Chains A and B, each alone.
Chain A
Amino acid sequence: MHIPENYLSPQTCAVLGAAMVPVWYLAVRKVKEEVPRERLPLLGVGAAFSFLAMMLNVPLPGGTTGHAVGGVLLALLFGPFGACLSVSTALFVQALFFGDGGILAFGANCFNMAFVLPFSGWAAARAVRRVLPAHPLVAAGIGGYVGINLAALLAAIEFGVQPLLFHDAAGQALYCPYPLSISIPAMMAGHLTLFGLAEVVFTTGVLAYLRQAAPELVAGAHARASRAVYGLLALLIAATPLGLLATGTAWGEWGADEIAETADFGAPLGYTPAGLAEGWSLPALLPDYTAPGVPEALGYVLCALFGTALLVIFFKVLASFKKPHTDYGTPSTGC
C-alpha cells in the first residue's frame, strides 16, 4: 500500500500532504497534552511494531504481495492521535532509509495509513465494542479489517484518478496508468481477503498477547515497556525474513523498469509513463531493505533491527524533552 515516488502527480501529493498538516498538528498537541512522559517511549515501540508488520509481506496467488499495518492496534493502545504519530514516523523512516513509499508521496501514504486507517478502525472497533462489550478482541479484529480496507480503497482511488486527470496528448498516462476500474478491484481483491486477514491476525494476536503479558500497558497505566514487549519485538524481528518468501511486487509498487511488462489485471501496458520514467527520486540508503554486500535474509533482519532501534530512540529522545511530572501530594494540614 506504500505509494512509490512518481505514481501520483505532484498536485495530488500536495493536496494530500496539505490535508495531513492539520492532522499532524492536532496529533502532536493531543499527544503532548495527554500522553505522560513515561508512556511516550511506548509510542516508539508501537511505531516499531507497525514498521515490522509492514516488513512481513504476505504473498497472494498471482504474484502480488501485501502486508498488515498495525495502525488499529496502536489506535486501541494509545488512542488514534498517538497511532497517527507512530505510523507517520514509521512511514517516514521507511521512505527515507529504505525507499519504501515515496518522499513526495509521504503525505498521501500518511493520509491512507496513518490517518484514515487508525481513525476508521478505532471508530469501528468502538462501535462494535458498544454492541459486544464482552468481546474486545472481536471488536479489535473488525476494527483492523475495516481500517485496512478503507485505507486500501483510498489508495486505489488515488491511483485510479491519475490517468483521468494527468495524461499527455497521445492519451498515455503521465503517472499511474491504471484507471479506477482496474485499480480498485486490484487493490481490494488482496485487501478484502488475505491482507485484511493479516491485519486482523496481527491486531488480535498482539493485543491478546499484551493483555496476558503486559495488562497495565493495555489498561493505559503509566507503564514502561516491559520484557514481554521487547521480547515480542525481538520475535517479530527474527520473523521478518519470512517476509522475503513473498517474492512478488505489491500492486502499484513496481519500479519504473518493471511497469511496462506488468500484466496484473489487464494486458501489459507496453509503455512507461513519462512521469515515472523521468520523475525525481531520492536514492535510498538501503533500498528495498537490502544492504549491499550482505546476504538477503541477514540484510532484512539488520534493516528490521535498524528501523526498530531508530523509532524507539526517536520517541525516547522526544520524551526526554518533556518535563518530568512530579507528584507533590497535598500539603499536610495544621501548619
Chain B
Amino acid sequence: MELPAWACAEEDYHPTRDREAFLSRSFLRIMEALAALRLSGGRARTWPPEGVLALLALWLLLTALAAGLPFLAAELTALFVALMLLDGRCLRRVLGASLAASLASLLLVAPAVALGTGRALLLPVKTFLSLGAVLLAGETVPWHALTGALASLRVPQTAIFLLDTTLRGIFVLGQEAGALLTALKLRSVGHNRRKRRASASIAGTLFLRAHVLSAQTYEAMVCRGFTGEYPRRRAADDGRALPRCLMLLAALLELFLFLWLEGARARWGV
C-alpha cells in the first residue's frame, strides 16, 4: 500500500480565528446531563424504592394541596434536612435544578405578585419543593430500581416498559451524544461554516440510532424470556425493616403536619 503524495508530506496548517463557543457550550451541557444520569446509576440501595415512591407521591400531593405558608415552610425544612445528608456534588445538582425551576416560576407569577396577589408567591415555593423532592428521590434510589418498584404499585406493564426503555435509551444515547460531540470537536479544526448542519446531523444520527437501539433492546429482552410482563418484586426482604419503619413514620408525620397546620390555617385563618 502506498499513501498518496499529499499524505506523505507534512501538512502546513495555520488556522484562522473562529470562536467555537456555540459548539463547546452545547457540548458541555450534554456532558453535564450525562454525568448526572451516570451517577444515579450505580448507587447502593438502602432505601426501599416502593417506599420512596409512595412517600414521593404523598409529598407531591400534599404540596400541591397546601394553601398556606406554615405547612410549606415545614416541608421546606424537612427537604433541607434530607438534602443535608447528601454528598456535595449530588447536592449541587439537586439544588441547582430546583432553584432554577423555582426562579423561572417566580418570573411567571411576578405580574400576579405585582398586582397584589401575594398568594401567587406560593407557586415558586411549591415548584422548589416538588422538583427538589423528585430529584432527591432520583439521587437516593437508582432509576432502574424506581421503575422496578412501579410494578409493585400496580402501574400498567406497558407504561413501565416504556419508561424503562426510555430511561435506558436516554442513558445510552447521552453517552453516545457525548462521544459524537467530542469527535466533532476534535475534527473541528477550522472555520466552521456549517455549525447548524453539523449539530443537525448529530441530532439526526442520534435519532436513528435510538430507533435501532430500542428495537435491539426489545429483541434482546424477548430472547431472554420477556413476554411483556414485569415480575412483581418480592416484598419484604431481609434487613429492610428499619428503613421501612422510618419511611412509614415520615409519611405519618408529613400527614399529621399537613392536617394540623393546614387545618389551623383553615379554621383560624392564619
Binding site for B on A (CB under 8 A): 41, 286, 291-294, 302, 305-306, 308-310, 312-313, 316-320
**Residue interface bits B56-77, CB-to-A below 8 A is 1, else 0:** 0000000000001110011011
B173 CB, min distance to chain A CBs, angstroms: 27
Chain A neighbourhood of B95, CB < 8 A: 313, 317
Interface size on B, residues (CB 8 A): 22
Contact A302 B73 (CB under 8 A): yes
B101 at the interface (CB under 8 A from A): no
Chain B neighbourhood of A291, CB < 8 A: 69-70, 73-74
Chain A neighbourhood of B68, CB < 8 A: 293
Q: Which of B202-242 contact A (CB under 8 A)?
A: none
Contact B80 A305 (CB under 8 A): yes
CA distance A313 to B83 in the complex (A): 7
* Known A291-B73, A292-B69, A293-B261; contact A320-B88, beta-carbon cutoff 8 A: yes
Find A41's partner among B70, B76, B88 (CB 8 Å cutoff): B88
Best-surrounded residue of A306, A308, A310, A313 (most CB of chain B within 10 A): A313
CA distance A306 to B76 in the complex (A): 8
Closest A-B pairs by Cβ, 3 of them: A320-B88, A309-B80, A293-B270
* Known A292-B70, A294-B73, A302-B73; contact A310-B80, beta-carbon cutoff 8 A: yes
B265 at the interface (CB under 8 A from A): yes
Of all chain A residues, the one with the shortest Cβ separation from B82 is: A309
B135 at the interface (CB under 8 A from A): no
A-B CB contact pairs (8 Å), 27 listed: A286-B73, A291-B69, A291-B73, A292-B70, A292-B270, A293-B70, A293-B261, A293-B264, A293-B270, A294-B70, A302-B74, A305-B77, A305-B80, A305-B81, A306-B77, A308-B84, A309-B77, A309-B80, A309-B83, A312-B84, A313-B91, A313-B95, A316-B86, A317-B91, A317-B95, A319-B88, A320-B89
Chain A neighbourhood of B89, CB < 8 A: 320
Q: Which of B8-43 contact A (CB under 8 A)?
A: none
Chain A neighbourhood of B80, CB < 8 A: 305-306, 309-310, 313
CA distance A308 to B82 in the complex (A): 12
Find B74's partner among A294, A308, A312, A319 (CB 8 Å cutoff): A294
B92 at the interface (CB under 8 A from A): yes
Contacts A305-B80, A320-B89 given; 20 further ones with Cβ under 8 A?
A291-B70, A292-B69, A293-B69, A294-B74, A294-B261, A302-B73, A302-B74, A305-B77, A306-B76, A306-B80, A308-B81, A308-B84, A310-B80, A312-B84, A313-B91, A313-B95, A316-B84, A317-B88, A319-B88, A320-B88
B86 CB, min distance to chain A CBs, angstroms: 8
Chain B neighbourhood of A294, CB < 8 A: 70, 73-74, 261
CA distance A320 to B68 in the complex (A): 35
Of all chain A residues, the one with the shortest Cβ separation from B89 is: A320
A298 CB, min distance to chain B CBs, angstroms: 8
Contact A316 B91 (CB under 8 A): yes
Chain A neighbourhood of B83, CB < 8 A: 309, 313
A52 CB, min distance to chain B CBs, angstroms: 14
CA distance A302 to B81 in the complex (A): 10
**Residue interface bits B76-117, CB-to-A below 8 A is 1, else 0:** 110011011011110110010000000000000000000000
Chain B neighbourhood of A319, CB < 8 A: 88
Chain A neighbourhood of B264, CB < 8 A: 293
* Known A292-B69, A293-B265, A302-B73; contact A309-B88, beta-carbon cutoff 8 A: no
Chain A neighbourhood of B84, CB < 8 A: 308-309, 312-313, 316
Best-surrounded residue of B70, B74, B77, B84 (most CB of chain A within 10 A): B84
Contact B73 A320 (CB under 8 A): no
CA distance A292 to B80 in the complex (A): 19
CA distance A313 to B88 in the complex (A): 8
B63 CB, min distance to chain A CBs, angstroms: 17
CA distance A318 to B261 in the complex (A): 34
Contact B77 A302 (CB under 8 A): yes
CA distance A291 to B70 in the complex (A): 7
B159 CB, min distance to chain A CBs, angstroms: 35
Of all chain B residues, the one with the shortest Cβ separation from A302 is: B77
CA distance A286 to B74 in the complex (A): 12
